[in-house]
Structure 1
Amino acid sequence: MSEVSGAPAVLFEDITTIPIADVAQALSIPVTRVHQLVRDGQLLSLRRSGATVIPADFLDGSAIVKGLPGTITVLRDGGYQDDDILRWLFTEDDSLRGAPIAVLRAGRHREVKRRAQAMAF
């Protein structure tokens, strides 16, 4: 199996993360499928204490937060690296009135994607 890319120490320690196996269980998919979602840019992972984890805020119950995969794709296409995308998603933005991930979770994914497009190009 290929190595899952992850960005070490890119998020504050107070941001809750979930081990890959728990993400698989929450999404009702095999662990290998979670690794594929990371490779495909549907999710982003990072390393904490030697384990590959996913930020808990990326999940909404048993699904990936609506708009997150598209936002990741826009930023990757614009040349951003995964660690920069992770930082941006969790950094407060006054113009969005919150961190982009919180705005996505609130259902305002179009607003976040527009901001990502403006940053990327």
Structure 2
Amino acid sequence: MGQVSAAPIDDTTLSERWLTVPDLVDLLGVSPGRIHRLFEQKTLLPARVDGVLRVPVEFLDDAEPLPEVRGTLMVLADNGFSDDEAVRWMLSVEDALGTSPIAALRAGRKAEVRRVAQSLL
């Protein structure tokens, strides 16, 4: 299993809905092991919310991981962000973007989001 920061996300309002591993198994129609591989590959990224690994629904497009998320999460990991820090950044309003990075990704602004992510230290 991939590393998940011990510092929990305490603001559950960052996402409109948080999905647990069992939720993801049902939604994606795959095994729990496959969900954990998606975490390791940074195709999806969980945060610890209320002591449970959860993924924000915004990281999904219908019943699939949003493809633009992975590259951005890789950039954040390369910049030393923990999983929880990366999830928090993706869901919080980023001044340089005028919106949250995940909203910008969903609006087709992938290059801009990654440029901002690369500038973070």
**Following TM superposition, by how much is the alpha carbon of 1:21 offset from its aligned partner in structure 2, in angstroms?**
1.6
Letter in structure 1 aligned against 2:54: V
- Is the CA contact 1:7–1:45 (under 8 Å) kept in the aligned structure 2? no
Unmatched 5+ residue regions in structure 1? none
Corresponding residue of 1:105: 106
**Following TM superposition, by how much is the alpha carbon of 1:86 offset from its aligned partner in structure 2, in angstroms?**
1.5
**Following TM superposition, by how much is the alpha carbon of 1:94 offset from its aligned partner in structure 2, in angstroms?**
2.7
- Is the CA contact 2:27–2:63 (under 8 Å) kept in the aligned structure 1? yes
Q: 1:4 to 1:75 in 2, by over 3 A?
A: closer
CA distance in 2, matches of 1:111, 1:18: 27
**Structure 1 segments (4+ residues) deviating >6 Å:** none
Q: How high is the TM-score relative to the length of structure 2?
A: 0.83
Corresponding residue of 2:12: 13
Stretch of structure 1 that moved more, 106-115 or 43-52: 43-52
- Is the CA contact 1:92–1:99 (under 8 Å) kept in the aligned structure 2? yes
**Following TM superposition, by how much is the alpha carbon of 1:48 offset from its aligned partner in structure 2, in angstroms?**
2.9
CA distance in 2, matches of 1:25, 1:4: 24
Letter in structure 1 aligned against 2:102: I
CA distance in 2, matches of 1:20, 1:6: 17
Q: Secondary structure at the match of 1:95?
A: coil
Corresponding residue of 1:38: 39
Q: Secondary structure at the match of 1:67?
A: helix
Letter in structure 1 aligned against 2:12: E
Corresponding residue of 1:28: 29
Q: Calculate percent identity across the aligned residue pairs.
A: 33
Stretch of structure 1 that moved more, 47-56 or 90-99: 47-56
| Number of equivalences | 119
**Following TM superposition, by how much is the alpha carbon of 1:67 offset from its aligned partner in structure 2, in angstroms?**
1.3
**Following TM superposition, by how much is the alpha carbon of 1:116 offset from its aligned partner in structure 2, in angstroms?**
1.0
Unmatched 5+ residue regions in structure 2? none
CA distance in 1, matches of 2:86, 2:3: 16
Letter in structure 1 aligned against 2:39: V
Letter in structure 1 aligned against 2:75: V
